[in-house]
Structure 1
Amino acid sequence: MKGNPQKEIEMAFLALPPDPASPEGFSVEGDGWFPAIDCNKMRDALRIGEMVTNARLVEAIKGGQLTIDRELADWRTAREDEGAADLTEVEPTRMIGGDHRLSLLYIRAVRFAAAAELAELHRDLTATQDGQARADTEATTAQEYHRLATNAVRDIIGTGRVAVELI
């Protein structure tokens, strides 16, 4: 008899936590003015599972950065003209939970823009009726992510969240 059978059974049922879908500490760098986006923190914050590969998440984050950077281009130029070398130099004393307020808002905006892209592109082309119902739910989620990204951008630039036009 080789070894302890009870020990072999215990070892067979030993459950190890899964490896993260993105390497530990892996971030998508921006241009240096805005902060980097940590992939695993985004996964945790938005409950993005391992079905989304690191490569897909990175591309979605880059898309989110492009979108939000474009939306903030005029605001950023004005802050640079005021002398800010990066985002943390804009309202540097405004903190939330020990973190720079505007950095938190930027990260939220990028995360939500990236999550919206993932939700829009994650539909199964061979979906059954149940699969199509899930796809409709994902579309609603994508719309919610877009709304949350827009809210974060508006909070950064200091405008209201509701646009009303009289006819």
Structure 2
Amino acid sequence: MSTGVIAVPAAPWDPDDAQVVADGWFPAVKLDTVRYSVRLGKGTITTQRLTMAIEGGMLHAFRELADWRTAKAAAGIAKLEDVTADQLNGANLAVKLWERIVTNFAAADLYASDRDVSATDQGLDRAAEKDTAADEARRIALGAVADLRSIGGSSVGRNRVRLI
């Protein structure tokens, strides 16, 4: 008599080459690029949730880069990869920075929304750790924004302070 227990390999998370398409000037970002670049949700982030976070990351990046992009487009640059011929690890530097920006804004969103629902001290500590991780991801993303905006122009500082 058989117990009926059969080991089945886990299905892949995302469809092959799944991506979030940007606006044509900025390139698409593959879900795998984000999923495997940062530790998110201990493997519990669904394709739909990851897609939504990447969309949110792109929207944030669009806002941060709007003036810079407008100036580049007005100068006749047709797409992000034409901003520079510089390469990093065999890929266009501007595209790598774009992926870093979107990945970290998406990660910040996921860290901030992936809360433990627990009133215990341990649950509160995990929530504080996730706040710190979200802040760190935003800091990395904003640093990459400054690096991207520095290509082909004057250096953009990485520290941003808003006085209230």
Is 1:162 the equivalent of 2:154? no
Identity of aligned residues (%): 38
Aligned-residue Cα RMSD (Å) equals: 2.2
Q: Please, which runs of 5 or more residues in structure 2 have no aligned partner?
A: 151-155
Equivalent pairs, count: 155
The answer to whether the 8 A contact 1:60-1:118 is kept is yes
Aligned equivalents of 2:135, 2:158: Cα separation in 1: 15
| Pairing 1:40-55 to 2, within 5 Å after superposition | 40-48=32-40, 49-55=42-48
The answer to whether the 8 A contact 2:116-2:126 is kept is no
Residue 22 of structure 2 is matched in structure 1 by: 30
| Pairing 1:7-156 to 2, within 5 Å after superposition | 16=9, 18-48=10-40, 49-91=42-84, 93-156=85-148
Deviation at 1:131, TM superposition (A): 1.7
Corresponding letter in the other structure for 2:108? A
Residue 8 of structure 1 is matched in structure 2 by: none
Corresponding letter in the other structure for 1:142? A
Deviation at 1:15, TM superposition (A): 7.1
The answer to whether the 8 A contact 2:61-2:101 is kept is yes
Instruction: Give the TM-score normalised by structure 2.
Output: 0.86
Q: Provide runs of 4+ in structure 1 moved above 3 Å.
A: none
**TM-superposition CA deviations, 1:36-60 (whole Å, max 9, x none):** 1111221111123431111111111
Aligned equivalents of 1:143, 1:78: Cα separation in 2: 29
Deviation at 1:90, TM superposition (A): 0.8
**TM-superposition CA deviations, 1:112-157 (whole Å, max 9, x none):** 0010010111112345321221111111000100100000000011
Secondary structure, aligned partner of 1:23? coil
The answer to whether the 8 A contact 2:118-2:124 is kept is no
Corresponding letter in the other structure for 2:149? I
Secondary structure, aligned partner of 1:32? coil
